[in-house]
Structure 1
Amino acid sequence: MDLRGGYRALVPAPFRPTLRRSWRLFRAFQVEQTDPDRFYGALAADSVAHVQHFADLDGAWVLDVGGGPGYFARAFRGAGARYTPLDADLGELSGLGSPEPGTVLGSGMQLPFADGSFDVTYSSNVLEHVPDPWLMADEMVRVTRPGGLVFCSYTLWWGPWGGHETAPWHYLGGHRAARRYARREGHPPKNVFGTSLFAVTAAAGLRWARSRPDVEVLALVPRYLPRWAWWVLRVPVVREVVTWNLAIVLRRR
């Protein structure tokens, strides 16, 4: 299988994985804690453009596993999608006020939906926050209709942002980084290693994607890097550090 998967445009979409785009997203990531509107707004807009590269969202029913506050709802609905967010944390869902209409409270590892319910099943930066990420990925495939799209991306533990707000000290150990953060800030980090943050690798994601006979792999790409950087996924060890965030894009057979 070609690890590039391909940025094959199935529908017209304003998605250009350029160096300028990567720099814009990096700047947004720097203000995640201090300016969440800027961060999540930029990420949501980019996410919709990325999904539109593989599927027509106009009239599509989208499940967002780990939807959080309403930034993604606005972006997906603005593209014409019927949007259903699911999250395990009511506080996350209420980040912009009341939860979005049609919101579902539940676990990504046991999605409360029938097989083949959705045209697009989407998840952004959630797998690293659940104790069994590949069970959640299996569930995403299960609830996607045949011919539908599964788009799942997650932050790699060994990347520079793997420890989230405790980075780069996570390289010395997740628990140690969490303790250091608590000492410096006077409160524990939002993402606590071993409880709400786990070490997930690119190698595990590639193995999982290859193991599913019921999907066609459309793309395996470093989500935030320029298009020409696809090659890093072919280099063990290097890919764990450089990829930053792995996007797995599948078509359900």
Structure 2
Amino acid sequence: MPSSVGPCAAGRLQSAAVPTRRSAPRSVTAAVARRATLARSVSLIRQFGYEQSDPARFYGALADDTARMVDDLWRGATDTTLNGRTVLDVGGGPGYFADAFAAAGATYVSVEPDAGEMHAAGLDARGSVRGSGTALPFRTNSVDLCLSSNVAEHVASPWDLAEEMLRVTRPGGIAVLSYTLWWGPFGGHETGPWHVLGGEYAARRYARVHGREPKNRFGTSLFPIRASHGLRWARTTSNGELLAAFPRYHPRWAWWSVQVPVFREAAVSNLVLVLRAR
């Protein structure tokens, strides 16, 4: 693995040792659970409709909600704030999340493999590094918190990405992996709900109806990832300790769905895995 990414990125990856706290998963997610109301869920669902037509509106709302969620998880795991901490966002795209994390006092760095995607919104990309999520160009134990939001379903080997997230996270820091489940309502992204009849069928139907290929092409940039896959990895990896698993967009009273095999694949929609790095 490369040991660094150059003076700009390397200079950002300096912070104090991460305080560790042995706490039950419920305490880690307590603040997140308090914010997980029906009103929040409805508001986010309304924003989803703007992903294609007004991405700045959609990703801006998602960035604010994500930064609050990650800050809550960090506080729950360490009893400290994100202020002065380094957050690495794997698959950060054009950088919509940067301002939201800066407002929390964090130093934000993103990794994005696609140069076109990195500059798609015309935002300042000086905090971004071009690189692969499955071979992160950062030193081992170099960041306090590693985040990946809605990226794993676009990676052919998502658990390689997940292991890389743990590798670059300092012991005691946390990795937050959130991804869209294939059998959920948004599993096919813009090709849904036809993806339930098969990813290839849904992609061909989309091209026929819209006269163009979908942005997320099944088998190339979209894969049928499941909740069971992530939970199995999180419970067996030797590089991290699973602290919590919960539905990202659901109200708190629906979080029980994660505990029900098979049912959760359709009901959870987006799964969040929180692990403490070892």
Give the structure-2-normalised TM-score: 0.86
Q: Which residue of 1 aligns with 2:35?
A: 16
Partner amino acid, structure 2, of 1:6: R
1:187 and 2:212 correspond: yes
Given the alignment, which residue of 88, 111, 118 partners 1:63? 88
Deviations 1:87-131 (A, max 9, x none): 011111112215521311111011111100100100100000010
Aligned counterparts of 1:221 and 1:177: Cα–Cα separation in 2 = 28
2:151 aligned residue (126, 147, 151):
126
Would you say 1:48 and 2:76 are equivalent positions? no
Q: What secondary structure is seen at the aligned counterpart in 2 of 1:213?
A: coil
SS at match of 2:116: helix
**Structure 1: gaps of 5 or more residues:** none
CA distance in 1, matches of 2:32, 2:224: 33
Match runs of 1:42-121 below 5 Å: 42-55=61-74, 56-121=81-146
Aligned-residue offset at 1:144: 0.2
Q: Is this contact kept in 2: 1:68–1:92, CA < 8 A?
A: yes
Shift of 1:38: 1.5
Which structure shows the bigger proportion of residues in helix conformation?
2
Q: What's the counterpart of residue 183 of structure 2?
A: 158
Alpha-carbon separation, structure 2, partners of 1:140 and 1:214: 10
1:215 aligns with 2:240: yes
1:35 is matched with 54
Aligned equivalents of 2:239, 2:115: Cα separation in 1: 33
Output the aligned Cα RMSD.
1.7
> Quick one: distance in 2 between partners of 1:161 and 1:96?
23
Deviation at 1:152, TM superposition (A): 0.7
Q: Conserved in 1, the CA contact under 8 Å of 2:145 and 2:173?
A: yes
Q: Is the 8 A contact 1:165 1:189 kept in 2?
A: yes
Any gaps of 5 or more consecutive residues in structure 2?
1-23, 75-80
Q: What amino acid is aligned across from residue 20 of structure 1 in structure 2?
A: A
1:162 and 1:58 map into 2 onto residues whose CA distance is 34
Report the CA distance shift for 1:7/1:241 in structure 2 as closer, same or farther (over 3 A).
farther
CA distance in 1, matches of 2:270, 2:238: 24
User: Aligned with 1:150: secondary structure?
Assistant: strand
Write the letter of the residue equivalent to 2:26: G
Query: How far apart, in 1, do the equivalents of 2:238 and 2:208 lie?
Result: 47
Q: What is the percentage of aligned positions where both structures have the same residue?
A: 56
